[in-house]
Amino acid sequence: MENLGALAILLAFCLAVFAVIGSVVGGWKRNEFLVISAQRAVYSIWLLVTVASGVLVSSLLASDFRFAYVAAHSNRAMPTLYKFAAWWGGQEGSLLLWSWLLASYAAVVVFTNRRKHRGIMPYVTATLMVTQCFFLILNAFVASPFQMLAVGRGITSVADGQGLNPLLQYPAMAIHPPMLYLGYVGFAVPFAFAIGSLITRQPGDAWIHTTRRWTLVTWLFQSSGIILGAGWAYAVLGWGGYWNWDAVENASFLPWVTATAFLHSVMMQEKKGMMKVWNMVLISGTFFLCIFGTFLTRSGVVSSVHAFAQSSIGQWFVGFLALTIAGTVYLILSRLDYLKTEARLESVVSRESSFMFNNLILLAAAFAILWGTLFPVISEAVTGEKITVGPPFFNRINIPIGLFLLFLTGVGPLFAWRRTSLESLRRNFQWPLLGGLVLVMGLFVAGMRHPYALMSFGLCLFVAWTISVEFYKGARAIHAKSGQNLLLAAVELTRRNTRRYGGYIVHLAIVLMFVGFTGSAFNKDTTIEVKVGDRFTLGHYEMKVVDLREGDNDNYSQSSALIEVWKDGQPLGTMAPERRFYKASRQGTSEVAIRRRLNEDLYLNFAGKSDDEQRAVIQAFVFPLVSWIWLGFWLLALGTLICLVPSKVRFEFARLPAVRVTQKYAATVKK
């Protein structure tokens, strides 16, 4: 079995090398036979990596502890779901998952484009396969999941494995890594098309049209991965934090930020033929940040709760990154002529310049996060002393940047393309702006003094208002024509231009998330040692400990508390926070009890026993508005899916002829 897995990886590596050479030579010499042969190799690679993954997964399910990986990341008593999830529970397995996802994406790309884009496809295949080669090298030679323990030769038998990290034995956590990897790996596809388009000197932006859906789907995966991680941290770590600016969290956030910038700036290229170089830089940067994020998780360069065991694997990543970055920079520089802008900016007050600001601010946020993540390494190299860059640093720098972005979310879409008159600005903004100001004053009078919270709530209302007005205006126009009621008219409006209104829905989702983030300024908590019959209070809540219990099963032992809860004298029922101790890994985890409501969550954590073992230590938290974050995510997913649906009305931008006419027009006016 183990030999089958290792052999499959080796064969896949050989085929990947062939696929690179075959497609490059085939594309260059216009040898269709070689190109097609290379594409068949892509399918075979998928099959081989699937076989290797199958071997690993089946040995995990069968608890075959001769495999070093299985012994280190699973144990017999683990539920089947988590035995399967152990595939990505450790370094070697998760790298194999990377390879498998990439092989799957590559196979889908090759299949769906088998009759399209014949010119650039060989180079797209080659780019994907270079990446595939790199990961297969890691799978085969650096971090092989098929290393065997010397059972029968020295070791007689391995009775049980060490078990999966218990923090990972949680449903959201089981799907968080694959979601994130689907995002990380997915950005390889638009990157590959960009490189293909550069190599073949494509004049237009076919690569953008082709990969728009890929990019959106990948972006949605990345968003889901990040939010699942946040939701998991909130429900599992026991202190209700969902984002800690940990190095690896930052690493997953960085490509998301640059991809968001990309999704916006491609519109400049599609509609105006501007910012072509920039889009190349953005999509390449996003891909490199994906590789970089994988590198940070695995190399132990920065300390992080997510990091896998320290290893020398980092050098391989550094080498791969250096080579690919150098190659991409060379390609972009040598093809600047093909990336010339086709249009001019007519006014500073226009949609065009608002896109530039949006990109600037997103990139500034990405840079600040990257800088803060790497600064401990830089500083230690320069001064020789270890320092920490933690949440206070990131919050101080990123909260103002985030608020400015929120402001742009409201303002940007209302600027017209080309130029916007002051009169239309006044018309669009006066009421939402006034509404936001009134809200801020109202909250201030009501006693809220937190400056950022006040700004954030004001901006949230402002942005939500401008978006609602956009929907209302469009829906009213349809209502006037067709007589549909306003709600149906809004649906019709969205169906006519899914990209635009889907985008607005995503913006609205971001607003909901900001409301949730802002709620954290008003968190409350208390820690208390209690015995049965004790009462304690937190804010409006009163709690009474009814019972303390102990339990035990094969996988873990547990202690739990049964707590009766009242709010302002009204009974709310009982909650049962629990503490588990996993036997195989000898680690403890919290199973918190959360009462989720839109206005606030009540969150109880069984932190442990007092020194004399007689009393329970209970941590109680109130988290205002935190549910809005998760609600925002669902809306974000809906908005993104709407963007993927083709619009009912086809918008023809007929950009090139129109641009030439305007140029001619500009010239005649000048004379």
Applying the rule CB under 8 A, the residues between 349 and 368 that interact with other proteins are 352-353, 356-357, 360, 363-364, 367-368
Exposure of 657 by Cβ count < 10 A (0-12 exposed, 13-18 middle, 19+ buried)?
exposed
Span near other proteins by CB under 8 A; candidates 2-10, 93-101, 384-392, 464-472 = 384-392
Query: In terms of CB distance, is 143 or 261 closer to other proteins?
Result: 261
CA–CA separation, 39 vs 43, rounded Å?
7
CA–CA separation, 621 vs 592, rounded Å?
11
CA–CA separation, 254 vs 258, rounded Å?
6
- Of the CA atoms within 13 Å of residue 10, those in its CB half-sphere come to 8
Applying the rule CB under 8 A, the residues between 271 and 290 that interact with other proteins are 274
466, containing H or E segment: helix 451-482
Query: In terms of CB distance, is 568 or 611 closer to other proteins?
Result: 611
Q: For residue 372, state whether it binds other proteins (rule: CB under 8 A).
A: yes
Which of 75, 144, 498, 605 is in the footprint of other proteins by CB under 8 A?
A: 605
Q: What is the dihedral of CA 56, 58, 64, 65, to 10 degrees?
A: 30
Find the distance separating the first CA and the last CA of the chain, reported in whole Å: 80
Q: How far is the CB of 671 from other proteins (least distance, A)?
A: 10
Nearest-CA neighbor of 267 among 94, 427, 129, 417?
417
Note whether 248 and 307 are within 8 A (CB). yes
Span near other proteins by CB under 8 A; candidates 25-33, 340-348, 479-487, 562-570 = 340-348
Q: How far is the CB of 122 from other proteins (least distance, A)?
A: 33
Neighbours of 615 (CB within 10 A): 17
Cβ-proximal residues to 647 (8 Å cutoff; 6+ apart), any chain = 495, 496, 497, 498, 499
Span near other proteins by CB under 8 A; candidates 35-43, 106-114, 283-291, 375-383 = 375-383
Instruction: List the x/- string, 641-660, binding to other proteins by CB under 8 A.
Output: -------------------x
Interior/surface letters 274-294, b for 16+ CB within 10 angstroms, e for the rest: bbbbbbbbbbbbbbbbbbbbb
CA–CA separation, 231 vs 548, rounded Å?
27
Nearest-CA neighbor of 195 among 115, 287, 272?
287
Instruction: List the x/- string, 606-635, binding to other proteins by CB under 8 A.
Output: -xxx-------x-x----------------
β-pair partners for 603: 594, 621
Which of 346, 492, 534, 564 is in the footprint of other proteins by CB under 8 A?
A: 346
Span near other proteins by CB under 8 A; candidates 113-121, 557-565, 636-644, 661-669 = 661-669
Q: How far is the CB of 579 from other proteins (least distance, A)?
A: 8
Q: How far is the CB of 455 from other proteins (least distance, A)?
A: 18
Q: What is the dihedral of CA 167, 169, 171, 172, to 10 degrees?
A: 20
Which of 115, 153, 396, 650 is in the footprint of other proteins by CB under 8 A?
A: 396
Which of 183, 588, 624, 639 is in the footprint of other proteins by CB under 8 A?
A: 588
Span near other proteins by CB under 8 A; candidates 114-122, 193-201, 374-382, 560-568 = 374-382
β-pair partners for 67: 148
Span near other proteins by CB under 8 A; candidates 53-61, 77-85, 419-427, 499-507 = 419-427
Q: How far is the CB of 505 from other proteins (least distance, A)?
A: 27
According to DSSP H, which parts of 78-170 are helical? 80-85, 91-112, 121-137
Residue count at the site for other proteins (CB under 8 A)?
Answer: 69
Q: How far is the CB of 190 from other proteins (least distance, A)?
A: 23
Query: In terms of CB distance, is 166 or 372 closer to other proteins?
Result: 372
Applying the rule CB under 8 A, the residues between 506 and 545 that interact with other proteins are 526-528
Note whether 163 and 71 are within 8 A (CB). no
Span near other proteins by CB under 8 A; candidates 101-109, 292-300, 323-331, 379-387 = 379-387
Cβ-proximal residues to 603 (8 Å cutoff; 6+ apart), any chain = 240, 592, 593, 594, 595, 620, 621, 622, 623
Q: How far is the CB of 411 from other proteins (least distance, A)?
A: 16
Which tokens belong to 7?
């052999």
Which of 152, 203, 390, 551 is in the footprint of other proteins by CB under 8 A?
A: 390
Exposure of 159 by Cβ count < 10 A (0-12 exposed, 13-18 middle, 19+ buried)?
exposed
Which tokens belong to 498?
């899914």
Q: How far is the CB of 72 from other proteins (least distance, A)?
A: 19
Query: In terms of CB distance, is 81 or 305 closer to other proteins?
Result: 305
Q: How far is the CB of 248 from other proteins (least distance, A)?
A: 10
Phi, psi angle pair for 582, to nearest 5°: -80, 130
According to DSSP H, which parts of 520-622 are helical? none
Binding positions for other proteins, rule: CB under 8 A: 237-239, 241, 244, 246, 274, 303-305, 341, 343-346, 348, 352-353, 356-357, 360, 363-364, 367-368, 371-372, 375-376, 379, 382-383, 385-393, 396-397, 416, 418-419, 421, 423-424, 526-528, 588, 590, 605, 607-609, 617, 619, 660-667, 670
